[in-house]
Amino acid sequence: MTISRNIAAFVLSLLSIPAYCQTENLDLSTAQWREDLAFLARELPARHANAFHFTPREQFEAAVAALDARIPHLDSDAIWTGMQRIVALIGDGHTHLRAPRDEGNLPVEIARFGEDYRITSVPAGLENALGGRVLKVHETPVSRAAELILPLSARDENPPLAQAFVEDALTTGATLHGLGITPDRNAARYTLADDAGRQFNVEVHAVAPDAKFTPIRPFKQPPLYRENPESLFWCKYLPDARTLYCNVRAMQNLYITAKEMLALVAQHSPDKLVIDLRQNGGGDHTVGERWLVHPIRDLASINRKGHLFVLVGAVTFSAAMNNAAQFRSQTAAMLVGQTIGEKPNSYAEVRTMALPNSHLTVRYSTRYYRFSEGPENAIRPDREIVPMWAEYRAGRDPVLEWVLARGAL
């Protein structure tokens, strides 16, 4: 399923508390960048719970030395991208170098469907690009661009999380420029092909970090999961399917909204309850367990096979991933959707530090958690459903469709 820039940004906002606390400064001297790199190389291993659980110390230090030697020949985008690659060696998804606030936001969205990357939303004026298959970014084939981006993502997580990262980075000007894919952080030329095979180019220019615009998508009527985009927890009763659908986008402040959900269950006596965690970037897993998992567990009419469904996806992250695992172990829920990108047994409990000169924010994990006792370190859905481009273009949600069409057991 495509993960929009808005969703990805929301996920990152949840993962990046506290927010930017100092103004970033990327206009640094070689000596200042080297000082930042030395600080990173010293402090990240010292503060992380287990910095070398995935990458050996020698490999980490070799990567630091290689970047240090190249700093005099690199611009700021290439340097912070190089640092991002080093932080990614730690492995866990909670540990990363946060992008600068002004990251060269290119106002289109790209998602992968099968082997194709498609333009899934555009601003006004670029409607001709909507739905186009991406062939190249500037002069780089999109498959090669994805290969260059991949090492910047968390190295010890499952592939769906890395793929979501690649999709977002393909429209991040600073990343593309830092990797040498584009000559300008504020513009990118995409070579596209329409469904008839006709190739054409579009030039996309970055917008300000606080720019507001309404993305144009290929469908007129959005699927249910895209409704109420500003709400972190909302429910809708679907009478024809006798189903209560609840979209939970954050594991925060659930006390009131969870009680409202339970009131709707009492009011409608639904045959099915659907908890959608596909856009949920986390929060506090103890809040989700107390106010969501446990109350649903105690609903005798719902906590039965074929009556309780939890929808999951690549960026069901952090506390949401933890609670999805708890739904599986503590209730009769069926998980439907795509494999979660984050490993259930990994490092979390985030702290942050700022590099001394650039003030770039580094997030690092301080505690190991285990949320699965399965044979592999992954949460795979009981029913895997990967949406195709034709479904997305039509505004369909095959994951929810499957649940609604399934007869209760």
Average pLDDT estimate for 110-136:
97
| 322/239 same-domain check | yes
The pLDDT, as a whole number, for residue 22 is 67
The pLDDT, as a whole number, for residue 406 is 85
Position 195 in a domain: yes
| 138/180 same-domain check | yes
What residues make up the domain containing 335? 224-343+378-399
Name the band, by pLDDT with cuts 50, 70 and 90, for residue 20. very low
246 phi, psi to nearest 5 deg = -130, 125
The pLDDT, as a whole number, for residue 3 is 45
Listed residue (300, 311, 298, 359) closest to 339, CA to CA: 311
Position 245 in a domain: yes
The pLDDT, as a whole number, for residue 21 is 52
| 384/268 same-domain check | yes
Position 75 in a domain: no
CA 309 – CA 169 distance, rounded (Å): 32
In this structure, what CATH number is given to the domain that contains residue 333? 3.90.226.10
| 290/321 same-domain check | yes
Average pLDDT estimate for 82-109:
96
Listed residue (354, 375, 365, 406) closest to 48, CA to CA: 365
Position 351, amino acid = R
Name the band, by pLDDT with cuts 50, 70 and 90, for residue 4. very low
The pLDDT, as a whole number, for residue 8 is 46
Average pLDDT estimate for 116-130:
97
Residue 25 predicted with pLDDT over 60: yes
Contact 171, 109 (CB under 8 A): yes
| 251/386 same-domain check | yes
Tell me: the pLDDT tens digits for 293-309?
999 999 999 999 999 99
Whole-Å CA distances, 362 to 41, 83, 156, 367: 11, 10, 17, 16
In this structure, what CATH number is given to the domain that contains residue 144? 2.30.42.10
CA 152 – CA 267 distance, rounded (Å): 48
Listed residue (146, 157, 38) closest to 95, CA to CA: 157
| 384/255 same-domain check | yes
The pLDDT, as a whole number, for residue 23 is 82
Residue 268 predicted with pLDDT over 80: yes
| 335/292 same-domain check | yes
Average pLDDT estimate for 42-53:
98
CA 399 – CA 248 distance, rounded (Å): 16
| 326/228 same-domain check | yes
Position 296 in a domain: yes
Average pLDDT estimate for 230-239:
97
Considering the chain, what percentage of its residues have pLDDT values greater than 90? 91
| 272/394 same-domain check | yes
Which residues pair with residue 334 across a beta bridge?
309
Name the band, by pLDDT with cuts 50, 70 and 90, for residue 407. low
Domain count, the chain: 2
Average pLDDT estimate for 254-273:
97
| 195/257 same-domain check | no
Name the band, by pLDDT with cuts 50, 70 and 90, for residue 10. very low
Per the listing, tokens 């592999």 go with 376
Q: Name the average pLDDT for the chain.
A: 94
Angle of helix 76-88 relative to helix 57-70, nearest 10 degrees, comes to 180
Average pLDDT estimate for 142-157:
98
Residue 5 predicted with pLDDT over 70: no
Average pLDDT estimate for 312-331:
97
Name the band, by pLDDT with cuts 50, 70 and 90, for residue 19. very low
| 246/322 same-domain check | yes
| 262/328 same-domain check | yes
Question: Where does a domain end: 205, 237, 271?
Answer: 205
Contact 273, 308 (CB under 8 A): yes
Name the pairing type of β-strands 140-141 and 187-193: unpaired
Position 305 in a domain: yes
Position 123 in a domain: yes
Residue 15 predicted with pLDDT over 60: no
- Ramachandran sector of residue 219 (left: φ over 0; alpha: ψ -120 to 50; beta: rest): beta
Question: 390 Cβ partners below 8 Å, 6+ apart?
Answer: none
Contact 96, 175 (CB under 8 A): no
Listed residue (232, 272, 235, 271) closest to 253, CA to CA: 232
Which residues pair with residue 350 across a beta bridge?
365
Residue 76 predicted with pLDDT over 50: yes
